[in-house]
Amino acid sequence: MPLRRIEDRIKRRTARIGVIGLGYVGLPLAVEFGKAGFRVTGFEINEKRTATLNRGRSYIQDVPTREVRDLVQAGRLRATLDFDELRSMDVVDICVPTPLRKTRDPDVSYILAAVHEIAPRLRRGQLIVLESTTYPGTTDELVLPMLQRDSWQIGRDFFLAFSPERVDPGNPTYQTQNIPKVVGGVTPACSRAAAALYATVVERVVPVTSTQVAEMVKLLENTFRSVNIGLVNEIALMCDKMKIDVWEVIDAASTKPFGFMPFYPGPGLGGHCIPIDPFYLSWKARQSGFEARFIELAGQINGNMPYHVVHRVREALNSRKKSVRGSKVLLLGMAYKSDIDDVRESPSLDIMEILEKEGARVSFSDPYVDWIEHAGKRLKGLPLRPGVLRSADCVVIATAHKAVDYALVAKHATTVVDSRNVMKGRRTRGVFRL
């Protein structure tokens, strides 16, 4: 019986596991499977990633090179560009990007491309799991029809499930193995097979009744954050007009031991999930005839925060009788959040673009980001030195990296726009907070 066979191979660690997409989600997952004793093959279209991994080196901050090297040397982890090897896999995990189009519609082309590679190579007894964040219905409505064969029955001849990734880059406490894993299969047998798989690498598996529930879980989690950040950003804008210290308000409200959870304002949302996932949900809602006004409004507020930061830069420069045009602005932090090197959807990129359109000369310094691709050019970061700080007409703190010496900033920067409240208690003169 195929179900018992796949469960037995998983239990004995003889199942061959393939992971399509070796990025921030796929590589940590592949490493965990390798550490659990499986032989793992990563499937990539990026030759550089493939070569780097096969040399035993990691290119993801949260995955130590030591772990990759040990697994590669032990023959439990390798990468390939040859998708024909999918035929020999017992399990295939899809971990590809799901961006938005410019029209803010879901772009599932990477998912479809991955399934297009799997479909002609699918064999009886294989377990396929989609981890890429997407709208409810993707697994059943798009993926399943591409894999279905006339003589095959889902849940008997092959297995298909959805299990949302919950990676939090840079989080030292919660990583793949200790984050509960939600699993929803097309059939109960599919759920059972996927749950057996993840039970080998995570501390807790949370089965749900369908793929749609599992898909909705991830969207709820990230929409929850987006909406609450949107609320506190609106409160911050309101407090700015009323000359009230929003940071003091949040600190005081946080003393309530029930019914309140602190969220903090900032220059906007970044990363692959929180700025994008809520629009997947609102798009799907529109297809069902429902208008998700709350979600859309939060997205608008968060999307406008880079403009508010630039507004504060104008005010800061005006206080010194300077204009934005021609001024030198130093951005501290290009990563979308603290202590990581990921610049995907970073609000710092938007702030840089807006300032440059207004004529500012913008540079950046980030202890985790050496360079960025910007306006068709490769822009190198500056070292955080006294001379660099003194030469800037305005320093904008966009990311609260712990590795940054803010005492140095307080001592040498003439004017600071602090969007993260890291200058609290260091100095007040010349500091403009969000």
Active site residues: 273
Rounded to 5°, angle at Cα 47 from 44 and 53? 75
- Bridge partners of 395, per DSSP, are 330, 416
List Cα–Cα distances, 375 to 204, 350, 353, in angstroms.
45, 12, 9
Q: Which residue has the tokens 């609260």?
A: 400
Q: CA-to-CA distance for 381 and 213, rounded, in angstroms?
A: 43
CA-CA distance, 32 to 167, in Å (whole number)?
13
Torsion of CA 84, 87, 90, 91, to 10 degrees: 40
Query: How far from chain centre, in Å, is Cα 227?
Result: 17
Handedness of CA 29, 30, 32, 33 (dihedral sign): positive
What proportions of the chain, in percent to the nearest 5, are helix, strand and coil? 40, 15, 45
Compute the distance between CA of residue 272 and CA of residue 282 in angstroms, rounded to an integer. Answer: 17
Q: Please state, in angstroms and as integers, the Cα–Cα distance from residue 185 to each residue in 86, 97, 383, following that order.
A: 21, 21, 50
Q: Which pair of structure tokens corresponds to residue 154?
A: 């889902």
Residue 299 in 3-state DSSP? helix
Nearest to 19 by CA among 181, 160, 138, 129: 129
Quote the distance between the C-alpha of residue 343 and its chain's center.
Answer: 10
C-alpha to C-alpha distance for 32 and 316, rounded to whole angstroms: 48
Tokens of 211: 């793929």
In a 10 Å sphere around its CB, with 0-12 CB exposed, 13-18 middle and 19+ buried, how is residue 293 labelled? exposed
